Amino acid sequence: MKRNIKLFGAAALVTAALPAVAPAQTGDARIALSNNYAGNSWRQAMLESWEKAGTQAVEEGVVAAADAFTTSENQATEQAAQIQNMILQGYDAIVVNAASPTALNGAIAEACDAGITVVSFDGIVTEPCAWRIAVDFKEMGRQQVEYLASRLPDGGNLLEIRGLAGVFVDDEIHAGIQQGVEEYPQFEIVGSVHGDWAQDVAQKAVAGVLPSLPEIDGVVTQGGDGYGAAQAIDAAGRDMPIIVMGNRQDEMQWWAEQRDANGYETLSLSIAPGVSTLALWVAQQILAGNEVPKDLTVPFLVVTQDTLDEALAATPEGSVANVEYSLEDAQAVIEDAKAAE
Amino acid sequence: MADATADRPSAVLSIHRRPWFWAWVASAVAFVATLMLTEGRGGGDLLSAALTFASFSAIVGIGQMFVITLGPGNVDLSIPATMTLAGTLSLKFMDGATGLILPGLAVALGVGLGAGVTNYLLIRVLRIPPIIATLSASFLYQSLAIWSNRGLRIKPPAALSDFTTGATLGVPNLALVGLGIALAAWLLLERSTFGRWISAFGQNERAARLSGVPVEFVRAVTFIGAAALAGLTGYLLASFSGGAALNMGQEYLLISIAVVVIGGCSIAGGYSNVPGIWGGALFMFLIVSMLNSYGLGAGVRLIVTGAIIIAIVAAASGKEST
């Protein structure tokens, strides 16, 4: 009998159809989301995904609570205080999108000492006791050049739109793009501007640098900046280069319009804001006593010419293409990480 | 210096002593330096882009200039949030309908007026210093923007979008709007009683009060006017860039203060000028374009921008001209 129950439990853990049965032992667990910033559409979608998955998980009795908290000022000190409050409130796990990879380490270590499971994602922390669900931003940059090489075998001139100067993510994607250009030396980066991941800033920066640039064949971006670049290039009356997009609805909308008008083709890739739900399930898996490697990698959400209409239809106007991850997705990511170890 | 210029007409003699002179010189230098890279090609494009983007900075800068003129501690930190809220609400209200362009403008200006009145009441009724009052109010406005639309981008009506990205007789429409507002601001500051009141307030509030200047009225109109201009800019910027975004106003906090300082206005208040705002706004765009065109890294760009701003402010404050 006892053995049967164990077998049943093990089977349920890997059975896709029965997510509510497996984690019965986490039914009392309370999970908190510590979020450092909410001021753009990506973060808004991230919070919505969390709310959706969290509410469902609570209703199904998988966890007792999945509360989201966002700091107002995007400051590490403020977030550290927020995490300390969560420790006092007795959460079993804290899922954190961190304002800084290092500045929260003290608060994170306190949480670990109090026996709390800490899972960081997107904005990860370096404190060894925490789990990290990281994005391979470098690969994200490299793949853009790889795609352009498949479209333009003879290479050409690239315009690079970077993010916010001095931020880790910007350096990583930039390094990936440089690596891509080394792999495909037929490409040359002839101009580089900072678009701060915002359409209007990118539009302004590109409009300012275009007059001094030769013909552009491709634009590599970091997400949230492709539509602004397209508008600036269009306003200057130049031929439209291949602009790699970042899954924003306005970017995909523009892409679909161009495709219908003149057969425009490109690629779009980014991280789905629903990565917050992946982190939620990973935290739940750890609480359920499963062995989970400390370093996990988030899959990219890629939109191609073939999936454009589908992605566009599923994305609310003005938002960003999204998927919510399920318990099974989380288990697959964990298995991948175990296999890589 | 005096010998060399003694035989020139007096207008030329004194122009370099104008506080706004150095901002315009720096803009011209940045413009020419960028064009040297292309051997003169693309000058028209660059000028048109500069006029377009500088008009946003100029309009919020003019509002900020009036606030800063009121004297130490007077600055409006709620400009980015007011822009975001006005852009978000007005685009949501219009929802792409051409017939609602003017009512949409009224919504944006109404948001600006509401923000201005709130700012002023916090300062007056609760006696909160303007920096703290406008900063804390900005959280309120930003939250309202998030709450009202959760960051979704709604496209502006096509006619409005065409107007904001278009040009009349070769001059970008936005620049015409920005120059019109600048002209009105110049008349207000230099030729009206109200302008004298603002300057008097900034030079010495107590003396102004004792000489019969209605100081609270001046302060109220200034803060409300600045917020209304921020609302207008939010409306224009959202229409220009294809929709409102939650972070659309972010860079305009620093820019609105920078153009005031670069334009040769006294940061301590009391002495301001309007031409300098446009000079500063053009400079802030052209310097970034120039450094981007020369392919300098972000770190170098920031250092050079900082060094040039210090040089302009030092030159404009007249320490060098003896």
Spell out the residues 6+ positions from residue A278 whose beta carbon is closer than 8 angstroms to its own.
A121, A133, A298, A325, A329, A330, A333
- In angstroms, rounded to a whole number, what is the distance separating the alpha carbons of residues B291 and A209? 9
pLDDT digits (tens, 9 = 90+) for B19-30: 888 889 989 999
Give the domain ranges of chain A: 2-134+273-298+324-340, 137-270
pLDDT at A16 over 50: no
Min Cα separation B76/chain A (Å):
18
Min Cα separation B49/chain A (Å):
6
B150·A210 Cβ contact <8 A? no
- In angstroms, rounded to a whole number, what is the distance separating the alpha carbons of residues B228 and A334? 53
Which chain B residues have any C-beta within 8 angstroms of a chain A C-beta? 34-35, 37-38, 41-43, 45-46, 49-50, 52-53, 139, 142, 146, 149-155, 165, 237, 240-243, 245-248, 250-251, 285-286, 288-289, 292-293, 295, 298-299, 302
Give percent of chain B above pLDDT 70. Answer: 93
Q: Which of B223, B210, B215 is nearest to B198 (CA)?
A: B215
Which pLDDT value is given to residue B6? 46
- In angstroms, rounded to a whole number, what is the distance separating the alpha carbons of residues A274 and B148? 22
Q: Report the residue of chain A nearest B37, measured CA to CA.
A: A212
Which pLDDT value is given to residue A95? 96
Q: Which CATH class is domain A137-270?
A: alpha beta
DSSP state of A319: S
Give the mean model confidence (pLDDT) for residues A169-194: 94
Size of interface A-B (CB pairs under 8 A): 123
Band of the pLDDT at B186, cuts 50, 70, 90? very high
Give the mean model confidence (pLDDT) for residues B86-114: 93
pLDDT at A196 over 90: no
B146·A231 Cβ contact <8 A? no
Give percent of chain B above pLDDT 90. Answer: 54
Which pLDDT value is given to residue B151? 61
Q: How far is CA A266 from CA A185, A205, A225, A269, B320, in A?
A: 21, 22, 15, 10, 55
Q: Which CATH class is domain A2-134+273-298+324-340?
A: alpha beta
Measure the N-to-C terminal CA separation of chain B; round to a whole number of Å: 9
Which pLDDT value is given to residue B13? 60
Q: Report the residue of chain B nearest A248, measured CA to CA.
A: B153
Give the mean model confidence (pLDDT) for residues A279-290: 94
Q: Which of A79, A65, A67, A66 is nearest to A37 (CA)?
A: A79
Closest partner CB to A211 (pick from B45, B243, B246) = B45
- In angstroms, rounded to a whole number, what is the distance separating the alpha carbons of residues B245 and B232? 15
CATH 1.10.287 fits B23-28+45-316, yes or no: no
Is the CB of residue A41 less than 8 Å away from at least one CB of chain B? yes
Which residues in chain A touch residue B251, judged by CB atoms under 8 angstroms apart? 196, 201
Mean pLDDT, all residues of chain B? 87
Which pLDDT value is given to residue B90? 94
- In angstroms, rounded to a whole number, what is the distance separating the alpha carbons of residues A78 and A71? 7
pLDDT at A24 over 70: no
Which pLDDT value is given to residue A17? 42
- In angstroms, rounded to a whole number, what is the distance separating the alpha carbons of residues A316 and A272? 14
Which pLDDT value is given to residue A218? 96
pLDDT digits (tens, 9 = 90+) for B298-319: 788 888 888 888 888 787 765 4
Which pLDDT value is given to residue A175? 95
Which pLDDT value is given to residue A15? 43
Give the mean model confidence (pLDDT) for residues B137-143: 92
Give the burial class of A189: count Cβ atoms within 10 A of its Cβ; 0-12 exposed, 13-18 middle, 19 or more buried.
middle
Which residues in chain B touch residue A318, judged by CB atoms under 8 angstroms apart? 149, 151-154, 243
A38·B146 Cβ contact <8 A? yes
Give the mean model confidence (pLDDT) for residues A89-104: 92
- In angstroms, rounded to a whole number, what is the distance separating the alpha carbons of residues A189 and A157? 6
- In angstroms, rounded to a whole number, what is the distance separating the alpha carbons of residues B148 and B171? 35
A165·B146 Cβ contact <8 A? no
Q: Are B10 and B270 in contact (CB under 8 A)?
A: no
Give percent of chain A above pLDDT 70. Answer: 93
Q: How far is CA A132 from CA A65, B159, B230, in A?
A: 22, 48, 41
Q: Are B125 and B67 in contact (CB under 8 A)?
A: no
Q: Report the residue of chain B nearest A230, measured CA to CA.
A: B241
Q: Are B269 and B275 in contact (CB under 8 A)?
A: no
pLDDT at B4 over 70: no
Which residues in chain A touch residue B165, judged by CB atoms under 8 angstroms apart? 231, 235
Give the mean model confidence (pLDDT) for residues A171-191: 95
Write down the ipTM of this complex.
Answer: 0.76
Band of the pLDDT at A312, cuts 50, 70, 90? very high
Give the mean model confidence (pLDDT) for residues B264-280: 89
Beta strands at A131-134 and A117-121: parallel, antiparallel or unpaired: parallel
Give the mean model confidence (pLDDT) for residues B227-250: 90
Q: Report the residue of chain A nearest B142, measured CA to CA.
A: A39
Q: Are A146 and A187 in contact (CB under 8 A)?
A: no
Task: Output phi, psi for A307, to 5 deg.
Answer: -100, 5
Q: Report the residue of chain B nearest A167, measured CA to CA.
A: B298
Q: What is the CA radius of gyration of chain A?
A: 22
> What is the token pair recorded at A41?
């559409």
Which pLDDT value is given to residue B11? 59
Q: Which residues pair with A161 in a beta bridge?
A: A193
Question: By three-state DSSP, how is residue B125 classified?
Answer: coil
pLDDT at A126 over 50: yes
Amino acid residing at A193: V
Q: Which residues pair with A269 in a beta bridge?
A: A302
pLDDT at A1 over 70: no
Which residues in chain B touch residue A44, judged by CB atoms under 8 angstroms apart? 146, 150-151, 246
Give percent of chain A above pLDDT 90. Answer: 70
Give the mean model confidence (pLDDT) for residues B266-272: 86
Which residues in chain B touch residue A209, judged by CB atoms under 8 angstroms apart? 289, 292-293
Helices A199-209 + A226-235 axis angle, to 10 = 40
Which pLDDT value is given to residue B9? 52
Is the CB of residue A228 less than 8 Å away from at least one CB of chain B? yes
pLDDT digits (tens, 9 = 90+) for B159-171: 998 899 888 888 9
Helices A76-89 + A105-113 axis angle, to 10 = 10
Contacts of the segment A230-234: beta carbons below 8 A, 24+ positions apart? A230/A254, A231/A199, A231/A203, A231/B165, A231/B241, A231/B242, A232/A202, A232/A203, A232/A204, A232/A206, A232/A207, A233/A206
Band of the pLDDT at A340, cuts 50, 70, 90? confident
Band of the pLDDT at A18, cuts 50, 70, 90? very low
Q: Poorest-confidence range of A255-269, A293-307, B29-43, B99-113?
A: B29-43
Other Cβ atoms closer than 10 A to A169: 17
Return the higher-pLDDT residue of A27 and A131: A131
Return the higher-pLDDT residue of B36 and B13: B36
Band of the pLDDT at A12, cuts 50, 70, 90? very low
Give the domain ranges of chain B: 23-28+45-316
- In angstroms, rounded to a whole number, what is the distance separating the alpha carbons of residues A120 and A146? 30
Mean pLDDT, all residues of chain A? 88
Strand residues in A83-150 grouped as ranges (E): 93-97, 117-121, 131-134
Is the CB of residue A87 less than 8 Å away from at least one CB of chain B? no
pLDDT at A62 over 70: yes
